[in-house]
Structure 1
Amino acid sequence: MYIKGRCIVSACALLFFQQAMATGMDCTKAASVVETTICANKPLYELDAQMGSVYRKLIKTAPQTQSELRKTQRRWLNERNECAENIDCLSQHYRNRLEVLHAQWIEAVAYKPDDIDRQVMEDLQRRVQEMSRENPEFALERALDSLTLGEVGSSFSAELDEDEQPLFPTRIPKDVTQDEWKALQASAIKGAAEAGQTSYTLMDLDGDGQRDLIVETYAGGTGMFHYTETWRQVDGRFVRRTAEIDSQASSDSVLFYTNDRGANQSAYLIATRGKIYFAYRNGSYGEDQVYLLNPLKVNRQVPTVSVRYDYQLTVPHTQYIEDSNKAYELEPSLQKALAKAVTGMNANPGMTGQQKKPLCPIPQTAKDSEEYYGYGASYYAIEPVADFPVIIGDDCFVARLINWFGTYDEKNGLYAQLTMRKPESEGQERGYTVNGRRHITQISTSIGKAEGGAETF
């Protein structure tokens, strides 16, 4: 068969055209070498159909950008047509364009913080400032605790099958209404429990009078991860938070996760000014970032409160042998040398690795001069803060201050460690406990992308 005199298409390709016309390009009207090549290649046709779908949704969702979108699409079509019959070239062009359009689509449907969100962010900033006058060490925690919701909603756990694998309950849990149970059964939520121990909570997250669903899963792994996912109740069923982006995808539907080994993260379910947020805290040495996440929306631009700290670092006289309760006392001269090294140190995360200047003098007999410029690699579950020299008598040691991403408690304050080694000397590593008391130096607000376990898309 000839199509507008351009080429001959096989009967098999024609059959594919007829099956595919409902969702993508009308291949009976293919008018160029490129179009017939796409129609004769199923993977290319599927890419074209995907792009067409995203493009049409963007045109409807973002009318203010229609003119620019059409202009860039025409420009892309001209570039695509240069591929002619080159399938690899066409495939790459489609994938690149899909990536751009998908990013624009997410931006178009993502939640835009409103005046209430900005006011909540500023309220939290003021609350932390006020509480820092009474308790400068735990002002942020106290401010978040004062807004945290108590026991609300109805909670239930996954059931275990005969192999001790968690499954979504097969019987209606306590305090779940018949209408909610029907909506849960109609929503294919069973996959949410496949990763590990899972609990479910029904509560109204958006004030529409219907209870939504919070799914919390412990997945374990090296980071001992906990995942939180939300589903909105609408039209007699529950839909994933990200269904507007992709109704089938589940991997990107997690609102946030917390890493209990290799990070310092936590979440508070707070209510203020008539709205509910997950206040997600991502900590590091000298700083806490609190992201106010809308629980049922795609969050791209997030109201953020940043709290920065300074520490008064000390090296306790009483030290403990690693992995043991056995204590010993530091010699006064050693304690004095260690305290001198950390006192007044203006350390920040990232002040580690290869330094511009050697931390210890390099002798003429040195075999590996790099040993004098930095401490070396660190374990993933700790946060390297700073590399610096420690002078003990006539010896110079390369030291590193490490901590657990700013983890802080009332007893010890900041619990950190000073590890040090003598360059080019085997078996000379030493470790000492360092404590620090913090005070707030700055509280600021901004709106931008979240980081840590709340970073999405």
Structure 2
Amino acid sequence: MYIKGRYIVSACALLFFQQALASGMDCTKAASVVEKAICADKPLYELDAQMGAAYRKLMKAAPEQAEVKKAQRQWLRERDGCGEEVSCLSQRYQDRLQVLHAQWIDAVAYKPDEIDKQVMEDLQQRVREMSKESPEFALERALNSLTLGSIGSSFSAELDEDEQPLFPTTIPKDVTQDEWKALQASDIKGAAESGQTSYTLMDLDGDGQRDLIVETYSGGTGMFHYTETWRRSDGRFIRRTAEFVPQNSNDSVLFYTNDRGANQAVYLIGARGKIYFAYQNGSYGEDQVYLLNPLKVNRQVPTVSVRYDYQLKVPHTQYIEDSDKAYELEPSLQKVLTKAVTGLDANAGMTGQQKKPLCPIPKTAKDSEEYYGYGASYYAIEPVADFPVIIGDDCYVARLINWFGTYDEKNGLPAVLLMRKPESEDPQRSYSVNGRRHITQVSTSVGKTEGGADNF
């Protein structure tokens, strides 16, 4: 991030603004209060110059110029509402520049071609076919069938005396002299400074030259892995986002995966003569697979969506939390709990504050909100639904949680049923829940990404 005064601007936006070469308004013709205020303040005048260049740049790239003009006229009216107040004018310009920059990126970013769309349709059909024999793992098997083998050369960052990663100082194994010369001519040393870093050389665009994949593990709260690519161009490697951010910036990545607080996986696949990073972003009841072009800025992305239904049950054998000690549920209690979770699906997921109380609110209640929902959740888990569970004469507010659709062959969907009595000092109850899934729908679309694929 770039910080100057009270404003924070991303590195990509900074480069965009720095490229604004046109002069600002002609102050000899300033007539309105706003124009005079801009001409009297150098930072405002510079912002106005950046605005002019940004607007013209967007007009050249935008498919709907009339809409851009209309929005700009509306913004000018809002700007003029500031009068001569410098702070208000400055904020208006900062906000508008960010909007114009985002719209410009959308306009010039890679547009999926017919091959990309056909690969998307092929993957959809492959998942459907495999679901006939493998209704639980059809998506994973379809992606594995397209995954490329070991077709590149990989090497790791070196560690200095303080165990900090550095870009290699000697030519790694299986790297040609020509590639090593190009690597040394490219400003990629900073990529290793943010965590454990590895590099892979492979041809990502079929031009006969190997490109560079940089993978970095930074740890932290989410245990993040970041991936960025560099395209081989003549005698050097050019960062994928070089047109949008400074060459030595770490402000953007192709994608990242979060190993805590998400369910994400990435497959490097080949189809119809092209290579893609197939980014799988999971949640309860649905997987999204985004087909990312490895060397382009992706905004509109071919997407395959797979939806699931679950058969949920509460096992007879339960385990005390944070312990290997097992106990057996009473058959009547197991029946009540299983009935409570049966029928919950991906569309049930209303959590938080409900319109109606989940449990009856007694006249003696001191905190009626206790009866409407389970409460706040933890970032590393995904709440599925809040609902009531009736045991005898007691009503419990319950919540089903899971780990973003995480699923394995042995246990299926691991989930937990949490229960508490409103306004009671009794500790919450928790019961393990298992679910087996089957595919109910496979669809395709082209649009924005989510999760760790929502980057440059």
Aligned residue number for residue 166 of structure 2? 167
C-alpha contact 1:252 1:456 (8 A) present in aligned 2: no
Tell me how large the CA RMSD over aligned residues is.
Answer: 2.6
Mean CA deviation greater in 44-53 or 441-450: 44-53
In 1, the alpha carbon distance for the partners of 2:29 and 2:78 equals 14
Aligned residue number for residue 373 of structure 2? 374
**For residues 99-138 of structure 1, what are the structure 2 equivalents within 5 Å?**
99-138=98-137
Q: Write the deviation string for residues 398-455 of structure 1: whole angstroms up to 9, x where unpaired.
A: 1110000000001110000001111211133111110000011111111110001111
Shift of 1:51: 3.2
C-alpha contact 2:309 2:346 (8 A) present in aligned 1: no
Q: What SS class does the counterpart of residue 411 from structure 1 fall into?
A: coil
Q: Write the deviation string for residues 204-225 of structure 1: whole angstroms up to 9, x where unpaired.
A: 1111111111111111111111
Aligned residue number for residue 9 of structure 1? none
Mean CA deviation greater in 351-360 or 134-143: 351-360
Shift of 1:373: 1.6
Aligned residue number for residue 196 of structure 2? 197
Mean CA deviation greater in 127-136 or 163-172: 163-172
TM-score (norm 1): 0.88
TM-score (norm 2): 0.88
Identity percentage over the alignment? 80
C-alpha contact 1:300 1:449 (8 A) present in aligned 2: yes
**1:150 alignment partner AA:** G
In 2, the alpha carbon distance for the partners of 1:80 and 1:261 equals 43
Structure 2 residues without counterparts, runs of 5 or longer: 1-17
Aligned residue number for residue 95 of structure 1? 94
Structure 1 residues without counterparts, runs of 5 or longer: 1-19
Q: What SS class does the counterpart of residue 254 from structure 2 fall into?
A: strand
Aligned residue number for residue 15 of structure 2? none
Q: What SS class does the counterpart of residue 31 from structure 1 fall into?
A: helix
Aligned residue number for residue 50 of structure 1? 50
C-alpha contact 1:240 1:253 (8 A) present in aligned 2: no
Closer/same/farther in 2, CA of residues 428 and 168 from structure 1, 3 Å limit = same
C-alpha contact 1:304 1:448 (8 A) present in aligned 2: yes
**For residues 25-424 of structure 1, what are the structure 2 equivalents within 5 Å?**
25=23, 30-33=27-30, 41-62=41-62, 86-248=85-247, 250-346=249-345, 348=347, 350-424=349-423
In 1, the alpha carbon distance for the partners of 2:312 and 2:72 equals 58
Mean CA deviation greater in 410-419 or 227-236: 227-236
Q: Write the deviation string for residues 181-239 of structure 1: whole angstroms up to 9, x where unpaired.
A: 12211221111111111111111111111111111111111111111111111132112
Q: Write the deviation string for residues 310-334 of structure 1: whole angstroms up to 9, x where unpaired.
A: 0000111111122222211111121
Shift of 1:44: 3.0
In 2, the alpha carbon distance for the partners of 1:384 and 1:79 equals 41
Mean CA deviation greater in 409-418 or 67-76: 67-76
Q: What SS class does the counterpart of residue 406 from structure 2 fall into?
A: strand
C-alpha contact 1:200 1:214 (8 A) present in aligned 2: yes
In 1, the alpha carbon distance for the partners of 2:254 and 2:326 equals 44
Shift of 1:53: 4.0
In 2, the alpha carbon distance for the partners of 1:173 and 1:445 equals 42
Q: Write the deviation string for residues 117-136 of structure 1: whole angstroms up to 9, x where unpaired.
A: 11011000000000000110
Mean CA deviation greater in 208-217 or 341-350: 341-350
**2:261 alignment partner AA:** G
C-alpha contact 2:123 2:142 (8 A) present in aligned 1: yes
Q: Write the deviation string for residues 361-417 of structure 1: whole angstroms up to 9, x where unpaired.
A: 223332222222211112111101011122222222111100000000011100000
**1:43 alignment partner AA:** P
